[in-house]
Amino acid sequence: MTLSYVHTPKFVSTSLHIMTCLEVPVHIFGIYIILWKTPESMKSVKWSMFNLHIWSMSLDLTVSLFTSPFVLFPAIAGFPLGLLKEFGVPAAAQAFLVVSIFAGVGVSILAIFENRFYVLFAGNTVWRFIRIPVLFVNYALCFLFFIPPYLTIPEQRVALEEVYRKLPSDLPPSITNGPVFVLATDATYALISIFLITCFIIGEIAMCIFFIWLNTKCLAKRIHLSRTTLKMQRKFLNALHVQMYTPLIILIVPLVYIAYSVYFNVYDQASNNLCLIMISFHGLASTTVMVLIHKSYREACIDIFCIKTQYKTNPIPESRRNSFVTYVPRSKIRDDVIVVSHQITY
In contact, 305 and 15? CB cutoff 8 Å = no
Confidence of residue 199 (pLDDT cuts 50, 70, 90): very high
Residue whose C-alpha is closest to residue 48's, from 112, 102, 136: 112
Q: What is the pLDDT of residues 282-306, one digit of tens each?
A: 888 888 888 888 888 888 888 888 7
CA distance 164 to 168: 7
Backbone angles phi, psi at 88, to 5 degrees: 75, 20
Write the pLDDT tens digit of every residue in 64-77: 999 999 999 999 99
Q: How confident is the model at residue 148 (pLDDT cuts 50, 70, 90)?
A: very high
User: Over 70: is that where the pLDDT of 223 sits?
Assistant: no
Positive/negative CA dihedral, 119, 121, 126, 132: negative
Angle at 258 between CA 255 and CA 261, to 5 degrees: 150
Residue 259: burial class (beta carbons within 10 Å; 0-12, 13-18, 19+): middle
Domain at 5-344, CATH homologous superfamily: Rhodopsin 7-helix transmembrane proteins (1.20.1070.10)
| CA atoms of 219 and 33, how far apart (whole Å) | 33
pLDDT at residue 78 greater than cutoff 60: yes
Break the chain into its structural domains and give their ranges.
5-344
pLDDT above 70 covers what percent of the chain? 84
Residues facing residue 69 across a β-bridge: 80
What are the φ and ψ backbone dihedral angles of 126, each rounded to 5 degrees?
Answer: -65, -20
Among 134, 263, 294, which residue's Cα sits nearest to residue 194?
Answer: 263
CA-only gyration radius of the chain, Å: 24
SS (H, E, C) the chain: CCCCHHHCHHHHHHHHHHHHHHHHHHHHHHHHHHHHHCCHHHHHHHHHHHHHHHHHHHHHHHHHHHHCEEECCCCEEEEECCHHHHCCCCHHHHHHHHHHHHHHHHHHHHHHHHHHHHHHHHCCCCHHHHHHHHHHHHHHHHCCCCHHHHHCCCCHHHHHHHHHHHCCCCCCHHHHCCCCEEEECCCHHHHHHHHHHHHHHHHHHHHHHHHHHHHHHHHHHHHCCCHHHHHHHHHHHHHHHHHHHHHHHHHHHHHHHHHHHHHHCCCCHHHHHHHHHHHHHHHHHHHHHHHHHCHHHHHHHHHHCCCCCCCCCCCCCHHHCCCCCCCCCHHHCCCCCCEECCEECC
| pLDDT, tens digit, 9 for 90 and up, residues 8-30 | 999 999 999 999 999 999 999 99
Can you give the pLDDT at residue 315? 52
Please, which pLDDT band fits residue 1 given cuts at 50, 70 and 90? low
Q: 160 near 185, Cβ under 8 Å?
A: no
**What dihedral do alpha carbons 87, 73, 148, 97 form, nearest 10°?**
30
What is the predicted pLDDT for the residue at 345? 37
Asked whether 174 and 8 are in contact (CB, 8 A), the reply is yes
